[in-house]
């Protein structure tokens, strides 16, 4: 941008005393930008004469067709845009010049011959502006902090005399200046008190305060009732969606305070190792504390040797409550036989019809034009605000990080929040393991096929391979070249050397050798994790729903092989493969899948002695996942979906149908388990990786957090909702790069800058990773491509811990004793290596956006609230869970 020419600067404003027309009055009161900055008012004669305004005015309706008339919307005013673009450019230039000049340059500034518009409160002189432009070293830093502290600015014109103020009707004399100020003060204060800044509260000292102009999406002047009413509607819609999600989360007990395992008295067995350093004690006295009488082992060695089944006995007694599968294929829990006979469950699950009505409401609002524009501009503002914050506070963050002893990115806790267990090792590790078994146990019987038993040597002879022939290229399990948009080929990469029999031998838990090989390589991976000390994983392991014995077999595999580690927790993934089961004749209807997946869980909750190993295993299970190729087309053949008992066709149910029945049964199960003091489960499915963006609406409504979520870039309103509610997103850019979206187009960096709750995960190290530490590899590639700083990577690591299902006692050890508190109160820079200034920025920015929504919702607070058939209490209490209650 260049400075206006001297001729243009010297040109007087014509017709200054002429009356303002309607368009000029509207321009006078129109306000650009909000954000956390202050509003900017521009007078009608700010650099433009009446002829300029006339030329830029829109054509009359007689000159154009009705369809070509540019209508004013809540987010765009054609007439104002055309008339004020040049003035806005001048304003930015002049504001930049004033903000960057030193006090000694005031003489040069006074040489300007013509008045120019600057966004300065009348109470500040030119010298005050320059003084306040100096940036402090502590706390949040903005370009003009003093201006941000003002209630609201008004327009000021700077003439050759920096202490004179222009009015729309000419410049007053020097002797009349004080009298004018005194007369204007009451009206100015009154007008300032009536103004509303659209984003955030005025007390937030966010970077960018005082930059004015178009920081936010718009500012509503006191008289702009039409635009304000549109904003009321948009904000009420957003608030209604947040309320619907809160209803579903409270109903299913997926909230942060609903899990009994987060209680201080929860016992973790086997217990985690004692910390090497304690805040409350000296290093020399840490080993003097009394220790429990249980086995201890060195981390990274003898994995599982500190576990003893006898220590878990006796098991809890049988519960008096009963459960039953209702006519809608949802397990209902009752306080007794009498409550079951009268159909009074302890919690009322929303019906399938209610769920789809709520889902339609989410999708309708997410595709609403004004709501999409509002969300898109708010997200753009959040991203720009973070970039400004980084420019102003980058060196302060580095200085704060350097003050923390013994803490950097490598030794802050980080959790791999999304990784599939059967692909948890890298190719080199699997190759080395296969070769060692070929060398040490070639004559061990490992497979029964076609009516005969086969040894390991015979299996390799049948595929014409020897141990010497094996290599990384021979295994052919990497998916970084030929699997793009080919999920079918990616699934084949799970077969070593392209042979399903090798996958059955080495990568399955239920095979002829009862998954012993997979257990051995799992222990090797656990040993590597424990040796690293700071890397944790949440492995996803499959329950297919083909047989009701799957749970007992899986639990026996974990318990018998002692796969317990303080670095490992488990999630249960349920593949959406009903169509495959139905085609092969294994299933009669979809209800059988629901029964096979959930009935054993209700049985073990009622009586842990009925499945003792499953009861012990479930203490390390944190949630459920739903997996399959999301890009598959979902053809709706039904106007109204049938219940699972009547779903007997070969068509696979849609994604939303699967998620609803998982949610409904988990909600019922969690209510029972919490009452008994057992740990509860959350729903964390694959969502938004490919396919229909409506999957994200389902994830928003029913799920604690999601994996992937890259399709959020196409649905700005849902992305904004994910930000407002801080829903966790476990992203895997390397996985997406191989399957659906190249690395440079991945929205991970944009999500992070905007403040979404993002963490990095590996997904499938066997297919995508090259190194021994795939999680560090994921972070390192992201840091190189996205230019993440050390603070950014530590913030991502902290997000991963907060998203994870590890017990609160462990999170407090990793992040600080107040880690559950919001903002700076919950941050311990000595643990997380995230400076307080970053946490403060994130927290106050979020509060500002929530305040924005609440402000415009309160305008119509007395009107009827949106429909909700659920209407549960904010938190379920003992009185809420009773047989006499018909609604939850």
Give a yes or no: residue 879 inside a domain: no
Sign of the CA dihedral running 623, 628, 633, 638: negative
> 259 burial class (0-12, 13-18, 19+ CB within 10 angstroms)?
buried
Measured distance CA(795)–CA(350) in Å, rounded: 37
pLDDT at 476: 74
pLDDT at 301: 86
Same domain, 33 and 97: yes
Q: Quick one: average pLDDT of 462-474?
A: 84
Residue linked to tokens 């956006």? 849
Q: Per DSSP, what are the bridge partners of residue 419?
A: 539, 763
Measured distance CA(456)–CA(447) in Å, rounded: 8
Measured distance CA(847)–CA(184) in Å, rounded: 34
Measured distance CA(459)–CA(439) in Å, rounded: 14
Same domain, 208 and 275: no
CATH number at residue 826: 3.20.20.140
The secondary structure of 519-579, three-state, reads HHHHHHHHHHHHHHCCEEEEEEEECCCCCCCHHHHHHHHHHHCCCCCCCEEEEEEEECCHH
Measured distance CA(562)–CA(306) in Å, rounded: 9
Percent of the chain residues topping a pLDDT of 90: 51
The number of beta carbons lying within 10 Å of the beta carbon of residue 637 is: 7
Q: In 3D, which of 784, 730, 722, 732 has the Cα closest to residue 756?
A: 722
Global confidence as pTM: 0.74
Give yes or no for residue 834 having a pLDDT over 50: yes
Same domain, 258 and 398: yes
Give a yes or no: residue 17 inside a domain: yes
Task: Find out whether 597 and 586 touch, Cβ atoms under 8 Å.
Answer: no
Chain-centroid distance, C-alpha 533: 26
| DSSP letters spanning 348-406 | -PPPHHHHHHHHHHHHHHHT-HHHHHHHHHHHHHHHHHHHHHHHHHHHHHHHHHHTSTT
Least confident of 2-16, 86-100, 688-702, 828-842: 2-16
Give yes or no for residue 552 having a pLDDT over 50: yes
- The torsion region of residue 155 among left (phi > 0), alpha (psi -120 to 50) and beta comes to beta
Q: Please state, in angstroms and as integers, the Cα–Cα distance from residue 677 to each residue in 58, 259, 319, 440, 859, following that order.
A: 68, 9, 12, 47, 43
Q: Please state, in angstroms and as integers, the Cα–Cα distance from residue 843 to each residue in 201, 256, 651, following that order.
A: 12, 17, 46
Measured distance CA(158)–CA(177) in Å, rounded: 14
Give a yes or no: residue 122 inside a domain: yes
Give a yes or no: residue 885 inside a domain: no
Q: What are residue 577's phi and psi, to 5 degrees? A: -120, 30
Give a yes or no: residue 715 inside a domain: yes
Q: How many domains does the chain fold into? A: 2
Tokens found for residue 505: 């031998």
Task: Find out whether 833 and 407 touch, Cβ atoms under 8 Å.
Answer: yes
Q: What is the mean pLDDT of the chain?
A: 77
Q: Please state, in angstroms and as integers, the Cα–Cα distance from residue 822 to each residue in 169, 498, 631, 839, following that order.
A: 51, 50, 37, 9
Measured distance CA(517)–CA(561) in Å, rounded: 11
Same domain, 270 and 214: no
Q: Quick one: average pLDDT of 312-340?
A: 93
> 177 burial class (0-12, 13-18, 19+ CB within 10 angstroms)?
middle
Same domain, 199 and 265: no
Same domain, 152 and 266: no
Length of the chain: 888
pLDDT bracket for residue 79 (50, 70, 90): low
pLDDT bracket for residue 690 (50, 70, 90): confident
Q: In 3D, which of 114, 123, 120, 122 has the Cα closest to residue 133?
A: 120
Tokens found for residue 613: 């190993």
Give yes or no for residue 88 having a pLDDT over 80: no
Measured distance CA(132)–CA(143) in Å, rounded: 9
3-class secondary-structure state, position 299: coil
pLDDT digits (tens, 9 = 90+) for 336-389: 899 998 999 999 999 999 999 999 999 999 999 999 999 999 999 999 999 999
pLDDT bracket for residue 860 (50, 70, 90): low
What's the start-to-end Cα distance of the chain, in Å?
A: 60
Q: Quick one: average pLDDT of 850-878?
A: 59
The secondary structure of 406-434, three-state, reads CCCHHHCCEEEEEEEHHHCCCHHHHHHHH
Rg (C-alpha) for the chain, rounded Å, is 32
pLDDT bracket for residue 142 (50, 70, 90): very low
Least confident of 109-123, 371-385, 437-451, 832-846: 109-123
Give yes or no for residue 199 having a pLDDT over 80: no
Given the residues 95, 611, 708, 843, select the one marked as catalytic: 708
Same domain, 560 and 641: yes
Give a yes or no: residue 624 inside a domain: yes
Same domain, 211 and 261: no
Residue at which a domain ends, from 193, 223, 253 = 223
Measured distance CA(829)–CA(837) in Å, rounded: 10
pLDDT at 62: 58
The number of beta carbons lying within 10 Å of the beta carbon of residue 302 is: 13
Give yes or no for residue 565 having a pLDDT over 70: yes
Q: In 3D, which of 660, 616, 651 has the Cα closest to residue 632?
A: 651
Q: Which domain holds residue 775?
A: 243-286+294-582+591-605+619-860
Q: Which helix (H) or strand (E) holds 555?
A: helix 550-560
Give yes or no for residue 600 having a pLDDT over 70: yes
pLDDT digits (tens, 9 = 90+) for 749-765: 999 999 999 999 999 89
Q: Quick one: average pLDDT of 678-688?
A: 95
Same domain, 249 and 298: yes
Same domain, 194 and 260: no
pLDDT at 498: 72
For the chain, the farthest-separated pair of C-alpha atoms sits apart, in whole angstroms, at: 110
Give a yes or no: residue 886 inside a domain: no
Task: Find out whether 217 and 377 touch, Cβ atoms under 8 Å.
Answer: yes
pLDDT digits (tens, 9 = 90+) for 264-313: 999 999 899 888 765 544 333 434 444 445 667 888 888 888 899 989 98
Same domain, 265 and 379: yes
Tokens found for residue 11: 């040109």
Q: Per DSSP, what are the bridge partners of residue 219?
A: 31
Same domain, 345 and 468: yes
Q: Quick one: average pLDDT of 713-731?
A: 96
List of E strands, 46-161: 116-118, 156-158
Give a yes or no: residue 884 inside a domain: no
User: Which contacts of 453-460 are long-range, i.e. CB under 8 A and separated by 24 or more positions?
Assistant: 453/512, 456/505, 459/501, 459/502, 459/505
pLDDT at 97: 74
Active site residue 708: yes
Measured distance CA(883)–CA(881) in Å, rounded: 7
Q: Quick one: average pLDDT of 26-55?
A: 40
Give yes or no for residue 78 having a pLDDT over 50: yes
């Amino acid at each position: 941008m260049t400075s206006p020419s001297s001729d243009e600067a010297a040109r007087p404003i014509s017709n200054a005393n002429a009356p303002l027309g309607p368009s000029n009055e509207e321009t006078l009161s129109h306000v650009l930008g909000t954000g956390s900055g202050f509003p900017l008012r521009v007078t009608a004669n700010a650099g433009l004469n009446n002829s300029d305004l006339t030329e830029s005015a829109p054509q009359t309706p007689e000159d154009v067709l009705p369809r070509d008339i540019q209508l004013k919307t809540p987010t765009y005013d054609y007439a104002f845009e055309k008339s004020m673009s040049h003035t806005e450019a001048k304003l930015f230039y002049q504001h930049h010049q004033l903000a960057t000049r030193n006090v000694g340059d005031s003489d040069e500034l006074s040489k300007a011959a013509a008045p120019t518009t600057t966004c300065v409160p009348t109470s500040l002189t030119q010298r005050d502006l320059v003084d306040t432009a100096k940036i402090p070293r502590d706390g949040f830093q903005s370009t003009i902090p003093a201006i941000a502290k003002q209630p609201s600015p008004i327009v000021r014109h700077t003439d050759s005399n920096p202490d004179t103020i222009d009015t729309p009707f000419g410049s007053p004399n020097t002797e009349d200046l004080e009298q004018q100020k005194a007369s204007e003060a009451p009206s100015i204060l009154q007008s300032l008190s009536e103004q509303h800044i659209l984003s955030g509260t005025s007390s937030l000292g966010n970077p960018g305060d005082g930059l004015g102009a178009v920081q936010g999406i718009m500012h509503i002047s006191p008289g702009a009732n039409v635009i304000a009413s549109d904003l009321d509607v948009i904000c009420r819609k957003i608030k209604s969606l947040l309320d619907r999600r809160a209803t579903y989360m409270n109903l299913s007990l997926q909230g942060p305070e609903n899990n009994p395992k987060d209680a201080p008295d929860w016992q973790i067995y086997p217990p985690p190792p004692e910390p090497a350093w304690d805040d409350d004690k000296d290093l020399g006295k840490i080993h003097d504390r009394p220790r429990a009488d249980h086995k201890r082992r060195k981390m990274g060695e003898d994995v599982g040797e500190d576990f003893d089944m006898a220590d878990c006995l006796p098991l809890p007694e049988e519960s008096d409550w009963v459960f039953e599968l209702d006519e809608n294929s949802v397990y209902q829990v009752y306080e007794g036989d009498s409550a079951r006979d009268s159909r009074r469950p302890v919690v009322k699950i929303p019906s399938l019809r209610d769920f789809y009505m709520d889902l339609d409401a989410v999708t309708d609002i997410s595709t609403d034009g004004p709501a999409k524009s509002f969300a898109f501009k708010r997200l753009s503002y959040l991203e720009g605000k973070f970039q400004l914050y980084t420019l102003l506070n980058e060196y302060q963050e580095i200085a704060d990080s350097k003050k923390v002893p013994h803490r950097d990115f490598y030794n802050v806790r980080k959790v791999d929040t999304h990784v599939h267990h059967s692909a948890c090792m890298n190719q080199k590790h699997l190759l080395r393991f296969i070769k060692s078994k070929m060398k040490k146990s070639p004559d061990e019987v490992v497979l029964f096929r076609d009516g005969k038993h086969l040894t390991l040597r015979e299996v390799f002879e049948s595929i014409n391979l020897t141990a010497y022939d094996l290599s990384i290229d021979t295994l052919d399990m990497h998916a970084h070249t030929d699997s793009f948009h080919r999920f079918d080929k990616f699934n084949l990469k799970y077969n070593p050397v392209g042979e399903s029999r090798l996958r059955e031998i080495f990568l399955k838990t239920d095979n002829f050798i009862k998954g012993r090989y997979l257990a051995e390589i799992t222990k090797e991976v656990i040993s590597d994790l424990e040796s690293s000390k700071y890397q944790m994983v949440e492995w996803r392991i499959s329950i297919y729903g083909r047989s009701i014995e799957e749970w007992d077999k899986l639990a026996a595999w974990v318990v018998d092989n002692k796969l317990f580690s303080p670095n490992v927790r488990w999630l249960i993934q349920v593949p959406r493969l009903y169509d495959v089961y139905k085609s092969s004749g294994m299933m009669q209807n979809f209800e059988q899948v629901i029964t096979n997946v959930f009935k054993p869980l209700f049985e073990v909750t009622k009586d842990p002695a009925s499945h003792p190993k499953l009861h012990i295993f479930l203490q390390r299970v944190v949630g459920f996942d739903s997996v399959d190729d999301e890009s598959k087309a979902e053809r709706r053949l039904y106007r109204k979906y049938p219940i699972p008992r009547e779903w007997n066709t070969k068509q696979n149910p849609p994604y939303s149908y699967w998620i609803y029945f998982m949610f409904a049964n988990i909600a019922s199960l969690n209510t029972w388990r919490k009452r008994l003091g057992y740990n509860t489960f959350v729903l964390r499915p694959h969502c938004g990786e490919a396919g229909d963006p409506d999957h994200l609406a389902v994830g928003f409504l029913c799920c604690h957090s999601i994996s992937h979520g890259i399709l959020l870039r196409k649905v700005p309103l849902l992305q904004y909702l994910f930000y407002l509610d801080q829903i966790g997103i476990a992203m895997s850019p390397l996985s997406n790069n191989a399957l659906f979206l190249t690395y440079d187009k991945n929205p991970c960096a944009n999500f992070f800058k905007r403040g979404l709750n993002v963490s990095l995960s590996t997904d499938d190290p066997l297919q995508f990773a090259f190194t021994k530490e795939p999680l560090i590899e994921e972070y390192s590639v992201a840091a190189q491509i996205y230019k993440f700083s050390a603070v950014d990577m530590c913030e991502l690591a902290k997000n991963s811990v907060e998203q994870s299902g590890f017990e609160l006692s462990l999170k407090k050890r990793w992040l600080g004793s107040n880690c559950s508190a919001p903002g700076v109160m919950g941050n311990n820079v000595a643990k997380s290596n995230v400076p307080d200034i970053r946490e403060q920025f994130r927290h106050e920015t979020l509060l500002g956006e929530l305040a924005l929504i609440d402000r415009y919702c309160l305008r119509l607070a007395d009107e009827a609230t949106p429909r909700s058939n659920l209407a549960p209490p904010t938190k379920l209490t003992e009185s809420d869970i009773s047989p006499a209650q018909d609604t939850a």
